[in-house]
Structure 1
Amino acid sequence: MRARIALAGIAPALLLCACEAQPEGEPVVRTELGEAVPVDAVEEIVESAPTDMTAGSACTPAAFEGVTLTHCVADPESHRIATGLAPKSGEKFGTIEGWAAGRNEGAIAFVMNGGTFGDDLKPIGYFVQDSERLVELNRGDGSGNFFLRPNGVFFGSEGSWRILDSETFLRTVGDRPQFGMQSGPMLVIGGELHPEIQDDGPSKAIRAGVGMDAQGRAHFVISQEPLSFGKLARFYRDSLKVADALYLDARSPSLWDPASGRMDGGRVGPLLVVEKKQ
């Protein structure tokens, strides 16, 4: 079933770039935390999840305080995680569908958008693909969600995955991971909400995140309807019981779940790819 989400009142460049660095010397602007995209002009088609999830899916419906969500679990016993980049050209450029063309659908558990990107679809923060660092850690100041410190890094190698705030990552991680991506802000840090996130603020948007539990599993969540930063963070902390969770890009959160037939059509750049172990 397709649901149309209207995105309006902003220039196309803003749709593709969540946040730009401010001129040197200016303070970080905090007022944009969770600022929802207005919903009254440019249409972006996003396919909603089917009512019944297929039995083999790693994704299941969830609900929290009246909001419906999709919750996908990556388990290191049965999955591996990699990063990818949506194509920058072609008919399906900037979409998961474009990235998926020609790939073995049976090998994919699910794919989700993987953090903030610029108008060139490239990540604006740390990004490692197949152990190759394509973008260095971004420690700059700027406006928008990414720059609300602490932001963080989701990374891992050989079935061991972690989320750390960016400064801790810089201080403590010396080896290059197999995959890594920087996004922000952190939602949950050591079991506590990010200090600048309200429990349930007034800004509502379709949102996505990733969190790690004590068993080493990665929990990917994408909302089916607008919700606040705080509500998403509290779902991670209170329902999923994760100690650390990281926000993913909010402009067009997208999910591909081959088992259920879901393929969202939002504009994406970096991707988090969860593959089945053979």
Structure 2
Amino acid sequence: MAATPEICEDVVFEGARAILCAIDPSTHDIRLVYQGPDGAVLGSVSKAVTALAAAGATPLLAMNAGMYHADMTPVGLYVENGTEIAPLNADDGFGNFFLKPNGVFFVRSDGSAGVMETEAYRAMGLAPAFATQSGPMLVIDGAIHPRFLPDGTSRYIRNGVGVRADGTVVLAITRDEVSLGSFARLFRDIAKCPDALFFDGAVSSLAWGTQMEIDAGEPAGPVVAVFDKTEGG
């Protein structure tokens, strides 16, 4: 089994186990990957890290990072290496993605990152290096999403991303099934993120390097990967 990266820690919150990875953009690169060199959708976290390693860039960690349609196309905005592959989606609909406000996780060309509610992101007119839209927002300006129950009956292994006031990016995934309300409080109260975005549940997976630490055995569209700058990743 691969060793846990130093930037990650296991925590227990409200009786559930979770992993928090705190990423300093000055020492680590954060990228999003979706397609292989042949243009085909990679389709899973395990295939994404294998492809990255084959290209000489083994990540410290990687996880699924956004929702996708049955044909594996992203439901919302997806930008990779400055190229928009899928547009911003402000439509109404059914499911977690459309539990508004939803939002966007983005990485600027200088490596700094943010999480922003969809309409605020649109208003900013950003041109990021990487971006993935998902939903719902978990925490918005320090407040839990207004439509969440304190502890709903829907429980899954979940993952998401938040950004602290100092710019530190926090990727989180639970080892146990939790409600959206509890997962949001994990970001607000333990990860100390005033803004956080839900990536997905039930399909949530995590890799340490090329080895799967949590594997739902389900497909993945966009994948977020973290690289150590000191090792030329």
TM-score (norm 1): 0.75
| Counterpart residue type for residue 96 of structure 2 | N
| Cross-structure match for 1:81 | 30
2:78–2:86 contact (8 Å) kept in structure 1 = yes
| Counterpart residue type for residue 129 of structure 1 | E
**Equivalent residue of 1:76, what SS?**
coil
**Equivalent residue of 2:105, what SS?**
strand
CA drift at 1:80: 1.1
2:23–2:170 contact (8 Å) kept in structure 1 = yes
1:59–1:257 contact (8 Å) kept in structure 2 = no
| Aligned counterpart for 1:196 among listed residues 138, 147, 171 | 147
Paired residues for 1:214-225 under 5 Å: 214-225=165-176
| Counterpart residue type for residue 267 of structure 1 | P
Consecutive unaligned residues of structure 2, counting only runs of 5 or more, are none
Using a 3 Å threshold, how does the CA distance of structure 1 residues 138 and 56 change in structure 2: closer, same or farther?
closer
| Cross-structure match for 2:82 | 131
1:103 and 2:52 aligned: yes
CA drift at 1:72: 1.5
1: CA distance between counterparts of 2:10 and 2:30? 22
| Cross-structure match for 1:33 | none
| Cross-structure match for 1:69 | 18
| Aligned counterpart for 1:165 among listed residues 117, 123, 130 | 117
**Equivalent residue of 1:101, what SS?**
helix
Using a 3 Å threshold, how does the CA distance of structure 1 residues 187 and 227 change in structure 2: closer, same or farther?
same
Query: Cα deviations across residues 75-109 of structure 1 (Å, max 9, x unaligned)?
Result: 1121111111166x9xx962222222253376412
Paired residues for 1:114-125 under 5 Å: 114-125=65-76
CA drift at 1:175: 3.5
Percentage of matched positions with identical amino acids: 35
2:20–2:191 contact (8 Å) kept in structure 1 = no
| Cross-structure match for 1:153 | 104
| Cross-structure match for 1:273 | 225
Consecutive unaligned residues of structure 1, counting only runs of 5 or more, are 1-49
**Equivalent residue of 2:52, what SS?**
coil
| Cross-structure match for 1:176 | 127
2: CA distance between counterparts of 1:128 and 1:77? 21
| Cross-structure match for 1:13 | none
| Cross-structure match for 1:213 | 164
Length, aligned pairs only: 223
Using a 3 Å threshold, how does the CA distance of structure 1 residues 78 and 177 change in structure 2: closer, same or farther?
same
TM-score (norm 2): 0.88
1:86–1:98 contact (8 Å) kept in structure 2 = no
2: CA distance between counterparts of 1:192 and 1:153? 17
Higher Rg:
1
Using a 3 Å threshold, how does the CA distance of structure 1 residues 107 and 202 change in structure 2: closer, same or farther?
same
2: CA distance between counterparts of 1:100 and 1:132? 21
2: CA distance between counterparts of 1:250 and 1:262? 16
| Counterpart residue type for residue 75 of structure 1 | D
CA drift at 1:193: 0.3
- Aligned CA-pair RMSD: 2.2
CA drift at 1:250: 1.5
**Equivalent residue of 1:169, what SS?**
helix
